[in-house]
Amino acid sequence: MNEEIARAVALLRAGELVAIPTETVYGLAADATNPDAVAKIFVAKGRPADHPLIVHLPDAQALDAWARDVPAAARQLASAFWPGPLTLILKRQPHVLDAVTGGQDTVGLRVPNHPLALALLREFGNRAGHVAGLAAPSANRYGRISPTSVTDVRAELGAKVSLVLDGGACAVGIESTIIDFSCAVPRVLRPGAITAVAIARVLGVAALAGKAEHADIATPRVAGSDTAHYAPQTPLRLVDRNQLAGAIKDALAAGLRLAVLARSVKVIAAPGLAWHAAASEAGAYAHDLYAQLRVLDAAGSDLILVEAPPMTDEWLAVIDRLQRAACGSGESDET
């Protein structure tokens, strides 16, 4: 066994926190069966206690140890997309801690697609009679931008975490798609890299309820989440492509120092304007998004303008994160 993984397993078994890489974002992991360890997650993040955590599993076979009455459709998605950036909300087994579920009768489960995370989960679970699982939210302070590298994790949590496993930059870059199976019809609670269209295709249905409908995009339904999330401290505004040039001119005329994140070619050059080119393809845009937001936030601008991507299925997850960033931006840490 890799030495770092052995250290991580020992710390987790001792009830400590370990930051782990996943393909989406870095997670702040604790033994999901240890209430004291889970409590440390909430303290480290400054997260309200009623916000539920996702339990990470080594493989789909572990599903039934954590969930009951698992619908066939949920198993279909697990076999199609796990390991991968998909979280299933299912009825919980009685042993699952209230601290993990936020007191709800459901639990969020996912098998991450990262070799280090999987090796850790397998090793951690390698004990007879132990229903192994790691509770892990994104490894950022509450309401802040999720970390996609070890440097970001350290910037967010510093000494609050005993060990950060270095798995490099996260391949996907935004959090997993969340599908809720606790009601009659499965629905999207959080859009992600696995799109509603891809999920509907596997399930053989025309469309999914919830976030798949464009009109719904500003209404996050994830229990315990609020709209203000993923937020930089510099005010951020999302602007339609055809209004971008006007918005830039207005901001410059008002004497603002401006940072722009746009897929379009640079339309204006001016002193006080920093232009950041964004990827034109949705997957690459998502991959870079949080790192870009950190750079934009650190640039000392008065305002960040982001050119809104198109409202198509493949862009919904990115648009969701940008809307949340816009909504929670501009607040200082003291508030």
Where on the chain is the footprint of ligand TXA (CB under 6 A)? 22, 24-25, 27, 51-54, 85, 87, 89, 101, 104, 106-108, 110, 112, 136-138, 175-176, 178, 189, 222-225
Please give the distance of CA 276 from its chain centroid, rounded to a whole number.
23
Please give the distance of CA 234 from its chain centroid, rounded to a whole number.
21
Nearer of residues 24 and 301 to ligand TXA, judged by Cβ: 24
- As measured in angstroms, the least distance from the Cβ of 135 to Mg ion is 13
Nearer of residues 183 and 254 to ligand TXA, judged by Cβ: 183
Our CA angle for 180, 45, 98, nearest 5°, is 50
Residues 138-157: x where in contact with Mg ion by CB under 5 A, - otherwise, as a string: x-------------------
- As measured in angstroms, the least distance from the Cβ of 136 to ligand TXA is 5
- As measured in angstroms, the least distance from the Cβ of 27 to ligand TXA is 3
Q: Which residues contact 114 (CB under 8 A, 6 or more apart)?
A: 20, 21, 22, 23, 83, 167, 171
- As measured in angstroms, the least distance from the Cβ of 302 to ligand TXA is 29
Q: Which stretch binds Mg ion (CB under 5 A): 116-124, 134-142, 255-263, 318-326?
A: 134-142
Task: Single out the residue of 200, 189, 207, 149 nearest to residue 320, CA to CA.
Answer: 189
Rounded distance between C-alpha atoms, residue 186 and residue 196, angstroms: 11
Rounded distance between C-alpha atoms, residue 39 and residue 44, angstroms: 9
176 binds Mg ion (CB under 5 A): no
Question: Total residues contacting Mg ion (rule CB under 5 A)?
Answer: 1
Rounded distance between C-alpha atoms, residue 133 and residue 212, angstroms: 29
The residues that touch Mg ion, with contacts defined as CB under 5 A, are: 138
